[in-house]
Amino acid sequence: MNLLVQTANDDGGFHAPSILEFFPPALLFEGTPFEINRIMIIRFIAVIAVVLIFWLGTRNMRMVPGRFQSIVEMGLDFVRVSVAEDLLGRKDGKRFLPLLTTIFFMVLFMNLTGIIPFLNIAGTSVIGVPLVLAIIAYVVFIYAGIKKSPANFFKNALFPPGVPLFLYIIVTPIEFVSTFILRPITLTLRLLMNMVVGHLLLVLFFSATSFFLLMFNWYSLFSVGTIAFGLAFTLFEILVAVLQAYVFTLLTAVYVQLAVAEEH
């Protein structure tokens, strides 16, 4: 590791992506719980972008929407119709809509910073955002279930109906682990790892491109291939960004729906 990083100091050397990419040096308040580094600033930029777009897009809404308003409406309607109302129904969908909308757009915009030039790293590629959102989802679905009917919630979660009685010895611990332990962990890791790996791949392709290109010999031709891969993966990362935002929101909605359901 040291060797690689040392060689990176030489111009044209190969800069291998490392996990340290996700721990850039502090810019402000170093050492305090309010330390701000590059990735924190990127998150702030994403938050400002969300607020700005949706504030402007909903500021002066017309009955017959213009182009910009249509896009904003489409985004909000996507969460409202295909996630919230589809899974939770009209009443519960309305209750949890602010949460689901926030999760969707926060994850989406923080994912997209990974492919935006000069930002180049996803705000969700450090564990904080996925973890905080997963904990919120966890707290919310347990709260929703307990508020609806505590007995029903725990019965459905731990003792799924239609299982022979003696099998509960096995089923109940499995259900307990999967519902109350694995759900937040999988939510966190799925998003985090997608973004970490996506970033590392892009860094790998583009640093390889620069490495080959700056050799100024026949090996420079390799840079054509690596940059092509880099561009392809950039497009793929857009897809992943949208998909992961959708999956995170959808799973949160599903957990809430399972918690408030009368029966499985």
CB of 23 or CB of 68, closer to other proteins: 23
Q: In the chain, where does DSSP find H-type helix? A: 2-8, 38-59, 67-77, 86-112, 128-148, 150-158, 168-176, 183-213, 222-260
The nearest distance, CB 215 to other proteins, in angstroms, is 18
The nearest distance, CB 159 to other proteins, in angstroms, is 32
- Count of CB atoms within 10 A of residue 44's CB? 12
Both tokens assigned to 103: 């999760």
Per-residue interface string for the shown chain with other proteins, residues 99-138, x marking contact by CB under 8 A: x-xx--xx---x------------x--xxxx-xxx--x--
CB of 111 or CB of 156, closer to other proteins: 111
CB of 5 or CB of 224, closer to other proteins: 5
Per-residue interface string for the shown chain with other proteins, residues 181-200, x marking contact by CB under 8 A: -----------x---x----
Which of 144, 175, 143, 145 has its CA nearest to residue 159? 175
3-class SS string, 208-253: HHHHHHCCCCHHHHHHHHHHHHHHHHHHHHHHHHHHHHHHHHHHHH
CB of 89 or CB of 128, closer to other proteins: 128
Return the axis-axis angle of helices 128-148 and 150-158, rounded to nearest 10°: 120
Where does this chain touch other proteins (CB under 8 A) — which range of 8-16, 173-181, 226-234, 248-256? 8-16
CB of 77 or CB of 174, closer to other proteins: 77
CA-to-CA distance for 116 and 133, rounded, in angstroms?
A: 23
262 three-class SS: coil
CA-to-CA distance for 146 and 139, rounded, in angstroms?
A: 11
CB of 157 or CB of 199, closer to other proteins: 199
In contact, 39 and 119? CB cutoff 8 Å:
no
CB of 33 or CB of 164, closer to other proteins: 33
The nearest distance, CB 112 to other proteins, in angstroms, is 14
Quick one: 100 exposed, middle or buried, by C-beta within 10 A (0-12, 13-18, 19+)? Answer: buried
Binders of other proteins in range 42-81 (CB under 8 A): 43-44, 46-47, 50-51, 54-55, 58-59, 61, 63, 73, 76, 80
Per-residue interface string for the shown chain with other proteins, residues 135-164, x marking contact by CB under 8 A: -x----------------------------
Supply angle C-alpha 154, 192, 47, rounded to 5.
Answer: 95
Q: Which spans of this chain sit near other proteins (rule: CB under 8 A)?
A: 1-2, 5-6, 8-9, 15, 18-20, 22-23, 25, 29, 32-36, 40, 43-44, 46-47, 50-51, 54-55, 58-59, 61, 63, 73, 76, 80, 97-99, 101-102, 105-106, 110, 123, 126-129, 131-133, 136, 192, 196
